[in-house]
Amino acid sequence: MKHVLITGGCGFIGSNFVRHTLEYFPDYRIVNLDKLTYAGNPGNLTDVEKNSNYRFVKGDIVDAALVQRIFAEEQIDTVIHFAAESHVDRSITGPAEFVQTNIMGTFNLLEAAREAWLANGKTGASKDTCRFLHVSTDEVYGSLGETGAFQETTPYDPRSPYSASKASSDHLVSAYFHTYGLPTLITNCSNNYGPYQFPEKLIPLVINNALQGKALPVYGDGKNVRDWLYVVDHCQAILTVLQKGRIGETYNIGGNSEKQNIEIVNLICDILDEKVGLLADGQNRRSLITYVKDRAGHDRRYAIDATKIRTELGWTPKVNFKDGMRKTVEWYLDHKAWIASVTDGSYREYYEKMYGNR
Ligand code: NAD
Ligand code: DAU
């Protein structure tokens, strides 16, 4: 049995990961530590709440005593660290929380693992079987020009407070491997999409607005490029790295599916027109597209070279972009109550602040 601490398991990727792992790996006990920020929703996991291999703890990764207690109580031998402030736009208007959670929270988890696993660690777990897997982002590598792709050896060049805080956490993880021999793994993944993504991110925001006949805000010229990956493919990649990755290594994960933002927005409009019919005024949903003021420091293009994880560990994405997008739109259509529950008063306040004067 593996005793796994998942942080941020009530967020978008974390909740998909918890569900996927409990379904396919009955020998994993999962403790999910989540602070339940605006992005964390225990309702994302109601279907697994009663699973005897699952425990939820509401708490902050910055709380050292709490993290140490969980390590001891649950004999934790594996950490999969998702918890983070994850939205670039929020990092521009309020960076402090990003430094606190993404840097100090990661530091705190590393310290707890070091204390538990190394130097006659308190849990008695063997360093050979323990793993600390840190889930990070391609944004740490900066912005690409027209060609090329990020490799594991690409120098770090973060350009937003979000990516700078993630880069900083990656460096800490790497330092704990080199300095203390902590058995770490780092994954740097491209943009995810799929069920349970909070509607502040491009795809769910556009689906939600398009369903309501509201303007679809496209930053700048709409030609920034992201490399999209279906979230369950990301979860499977993380499990592959956990099970087969070489300790101390970094693995890039990507969908090999580069799209301009405007292509994504057009595609969502077309799928919705087909599935729910045109707008009340007879117009198609592309008529809602509104170009707005660009994001400050907006990275132009991301693309991942996933050769290492493919050739060393045998992972490739399974879901192609068109199928994944159709599945995603269908999920949001089938889960309107979920959207309503996460877009309450505080979401409307956020929306007004971010988009009011754009
Ligand atoms: P998310 O914002 O949807 O979820 C983050 C979760 O972390 C939430 O449940 C939140 O409540 C929790 N959390 C935040 N601060 C916490 C704290 N101090 N203590 C405990 N829990 C806390 O994020 P996501 O999109 O699911 O991303 C998960 C991880 O994957 C992040 O580390 C992110 O950097 C990384 N990542 C995301 C993407 C993407 O496209 N979404 C791509 C690559 C990497
Ligand atoms: O690349 C991985 C990263 O992907 C993760 O590390 C981040 O946690 C995740 O949020 C995501 O970051 P992005 O900034 O790329 O995602 P976002 O959905 O915010 O934006 C995607 C693109 O769409 C980006 O070029 C900005 C643009 N955009 C976004 C929003 C919210 C718009 O044009 N309009 C919008 O309203």
Q: What is the tens place of the pLDDT at every residue in 301-316?
A: 999 999 999 999 999 9
Alpha-carbon Rg for the chain, nearest whole angstrom, is: 20
The alpha carbon of 202 and the centre of ligand 2 are apart by a number of angstroms equal to: 6
- Tell me the average pLDDT across 72-89: 98
* Ligand 2 closest atom vs CA 138: 1
Residue 29 has pLDDT above 60, yes or no: yes
266-279 pLDDT per residue, tens: 999 999 999 999 99
The per-residue pLDDT for 344 is 87
* Cα 59 to Cα 44: distance, rounded to the nearest angstrom: 17
Structural domain containing residue 93: 2-194+228-253
* Cα 227 to Cα 347: distance, rounded to the nearest angstrom: 27
Residue 7 carries which side chain, given as an amino acid letter?
Answer: T
In a domain, 88, yes or no: yes
In a domain, 315, yes or no: no
Neighbours of 169 (CB within 10 A): 26
In a domain, 238, yes or no: yes
The residue nearest atom 10 of ligand 2, judged by CA position, is 87
Asked if residues 14 and 42 have their Cβ atoms less than 8 Å apart, the reply is no
Nearest to 205 by CA among 332, 61, 63: 332
In a domain, 303, yes or no: no
Ligand 2 pocket (Cβ < 6 Å) reads 86-88, 137-139, 190-191, 201-202, 205, 217-219, 224, 226, 261, 295, 302
Residue 124 has pLDDT above 70, yes or no: no
In a domain, 333, yes or no: no
Summary mean pLDDT of the chain: 96
More confident residue, 9 or 126: 9
The alpha carbon of 355 and the centre of ligand 2 are apart by a number of angstroms equal to: 15
Task: Report strand pairing: 184-189 vs 54-58.
Answer: unpaired
Looking at the CA of 201, name the nearest ligand. 2
Task: Report strand pairing: 28-34 vs 54-58.
Answer: parallel
In a domain, 314, yes or no: no
In a domain, 247, yes or no: yes
Ligand 1 pocket (Cβ < 6 Å) reads 7-8, 10-14, 33-37, 39-40, 60-62, 82-86, 101, 105, 135, 137, 166, 189, 191-192, 198
Testing ligand 1's pocket by substitution, the residue of 7, 10, 13 carrying the most ligand atoms inside 8 A of its CB is: 13
Looking at the CA of 252, name the nearest ligand. 1
The alpha carbon of 298 and the centre of ligand 2 are apart by a number of angstroms equal to: 9
Asked if residues 234 and 13 have their Cβ atoms less than 8 Å apart, the reply is yes
Q: Please calculate the CA angle 45-79-309 and round it to the nearest 5 degrees.
A: 95
Residues 6+ apart with CB under 8 A from 52: none
> What is the tally of structural domains in the chain?
1
SS3 content of the chain, % helix, strand, coil (to 5): 45, 15, 35
The residue nearest atom 16 of ligand 2, judged by CA position, is 201
Residue 122 has pLDDT above 70, yes or no: no
* Cα 194 to Cα 127: distance, rounded to the nearest angstrom: 35
Nearest to 113 by CA among 170, 26, 180: 180
In a domain, 218, yes or no: no
In CATH, what number is assigned to the domain containing residue 170? 3.40.50.720
* Cα 148 to Cα 255: distance, rounded to the nearest angstrom: 15
The alpha carbon of 238 and the centre of ligand 2 are apart by a number of angstroms equal to: 21
Asked if residues 18 and 12 have their Cβ atoms less than 8 Å apart, the reply is no
* Cα 271 to Cα 184: distance, rounded to the nearest angstrom: 41
Task: Report strand pairing: 258-260 vs 225-227.
Answer: antiparallel
Task: Give how far the C-alpha of residue 256 lies from the chain's centroid of Cα atoms, to the nearest Å.
Answer: 17
> What angle separates helix 202-212 from helix 261-276, to the nearest 10 degrees?
40
Nearest to 86 by CA among 200, 237, 250, 209: 200
The alpha carbon of 311 and the centre of ligand 2 are apart by a number of angstroms equal to: 29
Residue 357 has pLDDT above 90, yes or no: no
* Ligand 1 closest atom vs CA 193: 40
**What sign results for the dihedral spanned by CA atoms 206, 146, 189, 156?**
negative
212-241 pLDDT per residue, tens: 999 999 999 999 999 999 999 999 999 999
Strand segments, DSSP code E, in the chain are 2-7, 28-34, 54-58, 78-81, 131-137, 184-189, 192-193, 216-219, 225-227, 229-230, 250-253, 258-260, 289-292
Query: DSSP secondary-structure letter at 105?
Result: I
